[in-house]
Amino acid sequence: MNLELLARVRRQLAAQTRPGTNRDRAHGSAKADIVRALCAAGAAPPDQASLLQLSAALSDDLIGAGPLQSLLDDPQVTDVVVNGAGGVWADRGEGLRPAAVRLGGPDTIRSLACRLAAAAGRRLDAGSPYADVRLPDGTRFHAVLAPIATSGPYLSFRTHRSKAFTLTQLVEADTLTADMADLLLRIVKARLAFVVTGGTGTGKTTLLASLLSNAPEEERIVIVEDAAELAPDHPHTLTLESRPANIEGAGEVDLAALVRQSLRMRPDRIVVGECRGAEVIELLGALNTGHEGGAGTLHCNAAADAPARLEALALPHGLPRAGLHAQLVAALRVIIHLRRNGTGRQVAEIALIETGHARTQQLTVSTAWTRHGPGPAAGILERLLKERNA
């Protein structure tokens, strides 16, 4: 596509006063408008193939992510980032790699970011130089403008898949072994509460959605998220999404409030898409009051770090260390840890939270299973599953 010609057509379309909706034009239904704009721009009327190509480019430019839309539409791409003048990078499961996409200069990137944020109802400008929103197709979009972003703007996209991967597909992709998949299915069936841990981009949300897809169909799953990303293949799933404060600083609805609301929705399982603050206290309280089978994700470097990470989240919000540990060992037993290596994302460990020293009630994390087979806590996990007939 000739970018100069596309820019001229865009200007001509903007100048036209003929009645018609932006949606019609963006999707190419007003082909006569495009033909007239081409003629006004000094180009010959296109053939059908060129017209379709131009309509698609205009659609991406007017309501999509512009030149980045082709990357976001690629089913292999999970993340797309724009590093200002540093170019465009995409992750297809093997880490970020440069992408052959031309975006233009900082002003063009800024315009794209502001348009996407505005379409999601968020302000992005000098007074509010960053935004974290969910786009209409479910893609999570984050932007930071200059001068906060010193060589920006910086853009980050996390793509949304409308259908969860099956555990069989994850085994075929070497995300986990067949033995691990069987064990995780038994954990879900037994309604043991679990948390999926790992670093950024390790596949925590993907694995959690796959596991929730295997919950019994009659169970009601209530998911609480900052940005709706979890999409389990389950017929009885409800999602609550947090809301930031408006320009006046009012109207915020945080995750902790949503967890409290979920308790009144007759849930069989309560799921927090990502534990990052006071909602940890609400979730542990819910898991200790009969709501078994809950789950969530947590950023940490290793399974053994999960209790300390939960402490760091809960202590600033008033839950003392002893109280946190008592609730943890009573409610949250299983940790599923993911990592990235040179070949992709993999489940590295399935671990158990246990009480260590009887006097101090210090928690320990013991390995139950790895990619190489059973670990020291495999017998304890097996007894837990048998007690629950799983």
Q: What is the band of 12 on the pLDDT scale with cuts at 50, 70, 90?
A: low
CA atoms within 13 A on the CB side of 374: 7
Distance of CA 326 to the CA centre of its chain: 30
Which of these three, 63, 85, 113, is where a domain ends?
63
Judged against a pLDDT cut of 60, whether residue 31 lies above it is answered with no
Residues 285 and 184 in one domain: yes
349 and 203 share one domain: yes
% the chain with pLDDT above 90: 44
Predicted pLDDT of residue 198: 94
CATH of residue 146's domain is 3.30.450.370
- Tell me the average pLDDT of the chain: 84
Tens digit of pLDDT for each residue in 310-359? Answer: 988 988 888 888 888 888 888 888 999 999 887 788 999 999 998 765 55
CB 260 within 8 A of CB 286: no
Are residues 290 and 321 located together in one domain of the fold?
yes
pLDDT digits (tens, 9 = 90+) for 227-259: 888 889 999 999 999 888 777 778 889 888 999
Q: How many domains does the chain contain in total?
A: 3
At 354 the pLDDT is 86
pTM of the predicted protein model = 0.79
Q: Are residues 238 and 375 in the same domain?
A: yes
197 and 117 in one domain?
Answer: no
At residue 26, the pLDDT reads 41
Q: Sorting pLDDT into bands at 50, 70 and 90, what band is 25?
A: very low
pLDDT of residue 53: 64
Residues 17 and 153 occupy one common structural domain: no
Q: How far apart are CA 387 and CA 33, in angstroms?
A: 69
Task: Examine the fold and report which residue of 39, 63, 87 is the final residue of a domain before the chain moves on.
Answer: 63
Q: Residue length, the chain?
A: 390
What is the residue type of 17? T
What pLDDT does residue 65 have?
84
Residue range of the domain that includes 245: 167-387
Pair 28, 53: CB distance under 8 Å: no
| CA distance linking residue 315 with residue 350, whole number of Å | 26
Q: What is the CATH number of the domain that holds 292?
A: 3.40.50.300
Render pLDDT for 36-81 as a digit per residue (tens, 0 to 9): 666 666 655 556 666 566 666 665 565 678 888 889 989 889 899 9
Mean pLDDT of all residues in 188-202? 93
* Residue 187 and residue 151 share a domain: no
- Token duo for residue 34: 């495009």
- 302 is written with which tokens? 């290793």
Cα torsion 172, 174, 175, 181 to 10°: value is 60
Asked if 223 contacts 215 with a C-beta cutoff of 8 angstroms, the reply is: no
| Mean pLDDT lowest among 24-28, 278-282, 376-380 | 24-28
Q: Among 158, 179, 205, give the residue marking a domain's end.
A: 158
Say whether both 171 and 140 belong to one domain: no
**Whether residue 138 sits in one domain with residue 200:** no
192 shares its domain with 114: no
In terms of average pLDDT, the best of 24-28, 56-60, 80-84 is 80-84
Give start and end residues of each alpha helix (H) in the chain: 3-15, 22-26, 31-40, 48-62, 69-73, 106-119, 167-172, 178-189, 204-212, 255-262, 279-287, 306-314, 321-331, 378-387
Which range among 102-106, 143-147, 224-228 has the greatest average pLDDT? 143-147
| 227 and 352 co-located in one domain | yes
Task: Check residue 170 and give its pLDDT.
Answer: 95
Question: 270 and 186 in one domain?
Answer: yes
